[in-house]
Structure 1
Amino acid sequence: MKKILSVILCIGLGLGILQAQNIEISGRVVEANSQAPIEFATVKLLDAETGQMLAGTTSEADGSLLLISQDATFTLEISFIGFLTQKISDYELVNNRLDLGTILLSEDSELMDEVIIRGERSTTEFQLDKRVFNVGQDLSSTGASALEVLNNVPSVTVNIEGQIQLRGTGGVQILINGKPSVLASDGGNALGTITADMIDRVEVITNPSAKYDAEGTSGIINIVIKKEEKKGVNGSLTLNTGVPNNHSLGFSLNKRTEKFNLFSQLGVGHRTFPETFESINSNFNDQSYIRNVGDGEKNETFFNLILGTDYHINERKVLSLTGNFAYELETEYSIGNFTSENRSSGPVAGWTRKEATEATNPKWQYELQYKSDFSDKDDHYLLISALGSSFAKDQMSTFNNLPSFGETALQDRQQTDTDFGQAEYTFKADYTQPLTEEITFETGGQYLITDVNNDFAIRTLENGVWQDIPERTNTFFYTQKVLGIYSTAAYEGEKYGLKLGLRVENTDLKTLLEQTDQDNQQNFTNLFPTLHSSYKLADNFSLQGGYSRRISRPRLFDLNPFYNIRNNFSIRTGNPDLLPELTDSYEITGILDLELFSLSSSVYHRYITQTVENVTTFEDNVAITMPMNIGTNKATGIELNGKYTPNDWLSLNGDFNYNYFNREGTFEASPFDFTADQWSARLTSKFNLPADFTLELIGNYQSKYQTFQRTISGYALADIGLRKKIMKGKTILNLSVRDAFASRVFENRTVQNNFSQYDYRLRGRFITFGISYGFGKGEAMEFSGQKRF
């Protein structure tokens, strides 16, 4: 009995002691400067003697914390990334309670500097079937658009009209976050609504695997938009102003909780694109020519909003919904001074052509995506997405011809009217399963629907009434449906990697000109095999090889027969009968990575059939340009990309691309075989200067090159960027000068047996000053107001 009482007494005393030591610890964690609460700060309860962790928690959305301890002697450690760690070991218990009150965390200036420096670095990473260019915070991106960011990416060039080439060849497919997007379509230069601060990285895929859509003869460029997922609240506010007009305000905000990630980006602004131009049409038969010299400007007021959320159903299932709305108001003015002359008798007539254009461009896009990760292996997942987008353009242009001397047969006034609409719907499913640590299997499918209508008219003013020109007025309908399925299998060992794939795509294309009842229907199925391999010869040297078959279906504006009469002696129109290009692409790449120097070198070959070329015909001094399928193109080239960082204040990045091509074919029963080449080079120098200044200098050269009928002139340009960080990197001041010497021109000559044509355009220098402030847990970013060069 005594033993039983002793046991009960001991248990009772033990419980009493434990109850007496049940200590409640509370407090609130805030930022020292702003007094803003810090969510998800890490709170550790450590043994006072051994430092061993006894318990832990994280702070709530309001910064509050709550811990229970059964030991009266302990040390508290409160930490959060970017802030100095706070340790508390001196305290006083009151009734087994410890109220820490307000705990102030101060920013760690050294750590903050390190974080920002990492964010600024723009590096190129090599993967089995692509290269990844991390945009970072390049100085030259201040006030830059997505097009200008692309122009600084290795292998990519963008001309003055915004046409994108990869290794000197067009037919590039542009994706946004791995999917087709109205923002990357041909309509309305929509890439202008994507700004530099929105871009996380750019993926350059010269030989895409079968997992990707087979569209694009020269490859794929995938623009990955930032979607912050820092826990808590973070954001930035940016302001740009520039000459010529480039004024914009940008705002980004992100909120991350345990279940939700809410993100948003907003941009508004106004910008102006001045231009000088010259064109000459020469008729060799009668020794006459028509010359046009003038200037103009395009003004855009734009608005862009991105909203999205990720809902984490559980640790392995995520549902995402994203919406994007963009709107542009455009006005355009130009004055062209025309002169008609005969080389032997002199001037015949002169007149001035004035243009006034107004347009609205609304664009929207939404996407619903579901991702489920399986628990058996990493990277075993199912991804299902549905995407819808729309782009519209309502444009009216009026042209006045004012005679200055002589007589002309031109109408006094002309008008063009276009009502354009495009809708796209993409349904996609991807399944990835690692079979072993080295072997991965992928399969999936995609169904893409594109539906377009364009009601266009060209009119003349007769007796005070606008009259349609029947042969230049019509309604164009375009419908394309592409169904694709694929499978890939990949082996990636320590030294050797191999990836095989096959994609099958069926294309159903229909076009109709309603008024003239002209239709074009095409239905075809293609196989697209792919092969990628890699071999690591040493720790710092590896080889990659790849093959892919690609298709480039006719772009909408290449099919649309609407006539552009801005210069009614140099007209551009589409071709509804255009066929797709098919490309076989091969390449081998060597990659050397040393401590201070890295170099990649690629040798590639592309064989393109049914090559699309712009063909110009000439009649009555009017040059009409239309895309046509002309023969084959065999292009062989070499590309070098290098980076040298000799010390912590200087880094050099260089790119060089050379390709030699052999064009073969027949046009109008005459062979036109010829060979030509082209090359480009870029050098970027970045200097880290005292007082947190950074200077960036970019030199770029594009050689002249030849097409079926044209010779495109080369150019050299320089961009300059200067940055100053203040407030421990929370605020960044940027100055950017693009095309510093106003040397980037678009110039081409067409010389045929009976005529020649010359075109010249210059945009000039753009200077932009920007200021960016990061608040909450965000860092300063850069927002763009610029769209074109």
Structure 2
Amino acid sequence: MLNQVTIAGQKGNAMNKIDKQSYRADQFESAKGGTAVDVLKNLPSVAVNGEGQISVRGSTGFLVLVNGKPVLTDAQAVLSQLPANSLENIELITSPSAKYDPDGKAGIINIVTKKGANDGFTIAANAQAGLPSTTTYNNEEQPKRFGGDITLNYLKDKWDISVGANYLRNDNAGYREGDVFTKNFSNQTITRFPSNGERSFDKYNYATRLSALYTADKSNSFSIGFFSGKRYQARLADLLYKNTTSNLSTGNLMSSTTYFNSNLQTKEGNFTLGNFDYTHTFSNKSSLTASVLYENANLFGNTKNLNLNYPNIGDTIQYVYNPYKNPVNGYRFKLDYAINIGKGKLESGYQFRYDTQDGQFDYFVTPAISQPDAARFSGSAKAKNQINAVYTQYSAKYNKLEYIGGLRYEYASRTVNLSYDPIPHKLSLSNLFPSLSLMYNISDDLKAKAGYSRRIQRTNNYELNPIPEREHSETLEQGDPDLLPSFVDLSELGIIKTFKKGSFFTTLYYQHIKNPIQRVNSVYADTILNRVFTNAKRAYTLGIEAGTNLQLVKWWSLYLGANVYNYKIDGDLNILGSNSIISNDEWVYSINGNTNFKLNPTWSLQGNLNYLSQRPTVQGDDSRFLIPNASLKKTFMDGRFSATLQWQNIDLGMKQTNRQRITTSGRDFYTTTNYIYETDVFLLNFSFNLNKLTGKSKLPASEFGDKEF
């Protein structure tokens, strides 16, 4: 019923609706063989930094949907398990209506996967192989890169069945340069501990997915889904530290030592889930849909931190071992009713969400040391979250005006039980989440839109866990069981212009954030910083995004997106009981570009660029981040088979690409770390399609467990 604006170009690369922007996934050749993250980072207002953290309009919190179904887990973890080759479209829902979960301060990303378009059997298969690394940074091991995925679909009569499987090994070489100092005002000392060395990743994931839709008759349909997958990551940091302690007043050297730190952190997760949906359509064309989902995620891992003498690294100074187990169980029940009233549609529903996490964390130090707070480094942390929600919304079109207005009410409760604390940490919240979206058709080729919605950025159990983990030699990490969720008011105003060879859009947006969740540093000991989660008082974002999609000539297309915003954070900051007043204010911008040259009917060349400028954090800033890519594609057999050569993270020895410096400081510390990631990576991708896949395939994805991974 509500119109959409399709952007001109090959196969309709993008389109705008009243509440969202939709982008065709396969237009980005550099993402082939990768994951959904590799597609997403090319979209306007989306940026991915050196740590792989995804932000939309400068905010890192957003909700992920897979084919319209909520995935409450961490966006980066979910998207990294979805193969890019299986995606049809990615939708950015920047002004979500009341029927959507209010989670995510930046809005919603909906992933639409492929399915068979024709009756009968459809198959799509892809394989990837990485060429030898051009930059290894003298790492202990050579990175391994290979993978593949396959999707089978059977569409006949009343049945629509999809089966998918994927495996991806994607290691990364890397290097780290760091410099830290802490001040001890009681002892009048300053301790410096610069370091440098290897920082590399071994990563793989694999999964199988199944979905089956049975349309019994025109009034009843049933669907089931099953997902089983594994994700593994090992981060190795082999660093040489040169520690010195000097008098704070005179600068005279008091002591010095050099040691080698080998730090290996592994994280693993086994995910299993099942879902069942039923839809009944009544004689008056109204519909009732019931959905049930259950997930189990077995999460576990450890950190091994080994300090060794140097140059005789056979002598151990200290060995710290932090193993953990953190299983998750989650449930969701949803009931939705929709009926046409007048020229519009009224939708109402109820949703129940419940998840539990039972974490066990251990801490072993060799040789044993006298540590007064050692008991707090081991124990259990059990979390329980429960949410009941109801909503109603109405959407319609009146002459040239389209609108969606609604209201959602939620009652949420959270309980965290700690083994060393007899008093449970409880939080109960009762909130309303209004939303309104408008689109006015000024003319056939010019439209204006506006939107408002209230959102919430909920805490995850990792942020709530106060049991410290020895992340590496110089850092502890811990959460806060009393951490508050963030509440966000989102407003936007934009225009969409289409013309013969493409289109242009621009949107002005504003975010007001209450209780923004921050990860900050404080001093734990002279050579150890404590990285903790806490709430700031407020933050603001005012920005403008713009994008254009042009078919300049028959053989050359161009897509360009940009986002510019001012981010300000201020107010009281409580760090482990110590209060301080903070204020940081800075302009940030990002640019994503993609250009495609059709050399002839079977050859194409593509280049793309992702750039994120320096951006502020609560205690410092992150430097700019640059990623250029290129790809060359050849198709065979009328497009059914293709081979693609990818050149990722193009640097050519200039030392400008795929590196980022993160700096924070306080009254008694300063830390800066330059993370240098692998550049000039070459990959070969091969794709085969028997009856091309299009449309939407409702293959399930992890619902609860990825968030905690």
TM-score, normalised by the number of residues in structure 1: 0.79
Match of 2:181 in 1: 282
After superposition, the C-alpha distances for 1:161-212 in whole angstroms (9 at most, x for unaligned) are 2322110112211222222337x437x9343221101222112111211111
- What is the CA distance between 1:403 and its match in structure 2? 1.1
8 Å CA contact retained: 2:609, 2:629? yes
8 Å CA contact retained: 1:457, 1:469? no
After superposition, the C-alpha distances for 1:363-420 in whole angstroms (9 at most, x for unaligned) are 112111112234444xx4222111112222221333321112799x995211110111
Match of 2:474 in 1: 569
Give the alignment partner of residue 256 of structure 1, picking from 155, 163, 188: 155
User: Taking structure 1 as reference, are residues 196 and 120 closer, same or farther at Cα in structure 2, changes over 3 Å only?
Assistant: farther
Residue ranges of structure 2 left out of the alignment (5+ in a row): 1-7, 132-142, 695-705
8 Å CA contact retained: 2:539, 2:569? yes
Residue type at the aligned position of 1:318: S
Match of 2:108 in 1: 220
After superposition, the C-alpha distances for 1:456-501 in whole angstroms (9 at most, x for unaligned) are 112112489xx99422111111110111110001221341112210
- What is the CA distance between 1:119 and its match in structure 2? 11
User: Taking structure 1 as reference, are residues 662 and 469 closer, same or farther at Cα in structure 2, changes over 3 Å only?
Assistant: closer
User: Taking structure 1 as reference, are residues 763 and 373 closer, same or farther at Cα in structure 2, changes over 3 Å only?
Assistant: farther
Match of 1:168 in 2: 58
Give the alignment partner of residue 256 of structure 2, picking from 339, 344, 348: 348
- What is the CA distance between 1:693 and its match in structure 2? 1.1
Give the alignment partner of residue 212 of structure 2, picking from 309, 320, 329: 309
Q: 2:141 aligned with 1:141, yes or no?
A: no
Match of 1:694 in 2: 604
- What is the CA distance between 1:518 and its match in structure 2? 5.0
8 Å CA contact retained: 1:281, 1:623? no
Match of 2:165 in 1: 266
- What is the CA distance between 1:134 and its match in structure 2? 2.1
- What is the CA distance between 1:571 and its match in structure 2? 2.2
Deviates more, 1:388-397 or 1:652-661: 388-397
Residue type at the aligned position of 2:275: E
Residue type at the aligned position of 1:645: Q
Match of 1:197 in 2: 85
User: Highest Rg: 1 or 2?
Assistant: 1
- What is the CA distance between 1:777 and its match in structure 2? 6.2
User: Taking structure 1 as reference, are residues 206 and 190 closer, same or farther at Cα in structure 2, changes over 3 Å only?
Assistant: closer
Match of 1:537 in 2: 442
8 Å CA contact retained: 1:700, 1:717? yes
After superposition, the C-alpha distances for 1:316-349 in whole angstroms (9 at most, x for unaligned) are 3211111111123544433111110247556710
8 Å CA contact retained: 1:474, 1:514? yes
Give the alignment partner of residue 627 of structure 2, picking from 717, 737, 755: 717
8 Å CA contact retained: 2:324, 2:359? yes
Aligned residue for 1:673, secondary structure, equals: strand
Q: 2:556 aligned with 1:653, yes or no?
A: no
Asked which structure has the greater RCO (Cα within 8 Å, sep 6+), the reply is 2
Query: For residues 591-630 of structure 1, what are the structure 2 equivalents within 5 Å?
Result: 591-618=496-523, 619-630=525-536
Q: Distance in 2 between matches of 1:712 and 1:398?
A: 27
Residue type at the aligned position of 1:433: I
8 Å CA contact retained: 1:121, 1:136? no
Query: For residues 672-683 of structure 1, what are the structure 2 equivalents within 5 Å?
Result: 672-683=582-593
Residue type at the aligned position of 2:115: K
- What is the CA distance between 1:570 and its match in structure 2? 2.1
After superposition, the C-alpha distances for 1:200-234 in whole angstroms (9 at most, x for unaligned) are 21121112111111111121112122233531011
Q: 2:22 aligned with 1:128, yes or no?
A: no
Q: Distance in 2 between matches of 1:755 and 1:463?
A: 28
Query: For residues 412-451 of structure 1, what are the structure 2 equivalents within 5 Å?
Result: 412-436=318-342, 438-451=343-356
Residue type at the aligned position of 1:383: T
User: Taking structure 1 as reference, are residues 610 and 442 closer, same or farther at Cα in structure 2, changes over 3 Å only?
Assistant: same
After superposition, the C-alpha distances for 1:35-79 in whole angstroms (9 at most, x for unaligned) are xxxxxxxxxxxxxxxxxxxxxxxxxxxxxxxxxxxxxxxxxxxxx
Match of 1:760 in 2: 674
User: Taking structure 1 as reference, are residues 721 and 494 closer, same or farther at Cα in structure 2, changes over 3 Å only?
Assistant: farther
- Report the RMSD for the aligned CA atoms in angstroms: 2.6
Residue type at the aligned position of 2:496: I
Aligned residue for 2:327, secondary structure, equals: strand
- What is the CA distance between 1:154 and its match in structure 2? 2.2
Q: Distance in 1 between matches of 2:501 and 2:422?
A: 65
Q: Distance in 2 between matches of 1:143 and 1:659?
A: 32
Residue type at the aligned position of 2:452: Y
Residue type at the aligned position of 1:333: L
Residue ranges of structure 1 left out of the alignment (5+ in a row): 1-117, 780-786
Match of 2:697 in 1: none
Residue type at the aligned position of 2:540: K
Q: Distance in 2 between matches of 1:755 and 1:136?
A: 46
Query: For residues 31-46 of structure 1, what are the structure 2 equivalents within 5 Å?
Result: none
Aligned residue for 1:517, secondary structure, equals: strand
Q: Distance in 1 between matches of 2:581 and 2:234?
A: 44
Q: Distance in 2 between matches of 1:209 and 1:374?
A: 24
Deviates more, 1:441-450 or 1:300-309: 300-309
User: Taking structure 1 as reference, are residues 119 and 246 closer, same or farther at Cα in structure 2, changes over 3 Å only?
Assistant: farther
8 Å CA contact retained: 1:142, 1:768? no
Q: Distance in 2 between matches of 1:234 and 1:424?
A: 33
TM-score, normalised by the number of residues in structure 2: 0.87
8 Å CA contact retained: 1:460, 1:469? no
Q: Distance in 2 between matches of 1:608 and 1:778?
A: 41
Q: 2:145 aligned with 1:246, yes or no?
A: yes
Residue type at the aligned position of 1:607: H
User: Taking structure 1 as reference, are residues 764 and 122 closer, same or farther at Cα in structure 2, changes over 3 Å only?
Assistant: farther
Q: Distance in 2 between matches of 1:713 and 1:538?
A: 43
- What is the CA distance between 1:133 and its match in structure 2? 1.7
Q: Distance in 2 between matches of 1:333 and 1:646?
A: 47
User: Taking structure 1 as reference, are residues 395 and 670 closer, same or farther at Cα in structure 2, changes over 3 Å only?
Assistant: closer
Q: Distance in 2 between matches of 1:441 and 1:284?
A: 62
- What is the CA distance between 1:121 and its match in structure 2? 4.3
Residue type at the aligned position of 1:673: S
Q: Distance in 2 between matches of 1:530 and 1:700?
A: 32
Match of 1:151 in 2: 41
Match of 2:139 in 1: none
Query: For residues 305-704 of structure 1, what are the structure 2 equivalents within 5 Å?
Result: 305-342=208-245, 344=251, 348-377=256-285, 380-404=286-310, 411-436=317-342, 438-462=343-367, 469-618=374-523, 619-667=525-573, 668=578, 670-704=580-614
User: Taking structure 1 as reference, are residues 659 and 331 closer, same or farther at Cα in structure 2, changes over 3 Å only?
Assistant: closer
Aligned residue for 1:152, secondary structure, equals: coil
Deviates more, 1:539-548 or 1:149-158: 149-158
Aligned residue for 2:194, secondary structure, equals: strand
Q: 2:100 aligned with 1:185, yes or no?
A: no
Residue type at the aligned position of 1:265: G
After superposition, the C-alpha distances for 1:604-638 in whole angstroms (9 at most, x for unaligned) are 11111112122211242321111111111121111
8 Å CA contact retained: 1:457, 1:468? no
Deviates more, 1:735-744 or 1:591-600: 735-744
Aligned residue for 1:728, secondary structure, equals: helix
Aligned residue for 2:26, secondary structure, equals: coil
Match of 1:62 in 2: none
Q: Distance in 1 between matches of 2:307 and 2:70?
A: 42
- What is the CA distance between 1:577 and its match in structure 2? 1.1
- What is the CA distance between 1:315 and its match in structure 2? 2.7
After superposition, the C-alpha distances for 1:70-113 in whole angstroms (9 at most, x for unaligned) are xxxxxxxxxxxxxxxxxxxxxxxxxxxxxxxxxxxxxxxxxxxx
- What is the CA distance between 1:298 and its match in structure 2? 2.6
User: Taking structure 1 as reference, are residues 283 and 539 closer, same or farther at Cα in structure 2, changes over 3 Å only?
Assistant: same
After superposition, the C-alpha distances for 1:516-553 in whole angstroms (9 at most, x for unaligned) are 33521011100111111111111100110111111111
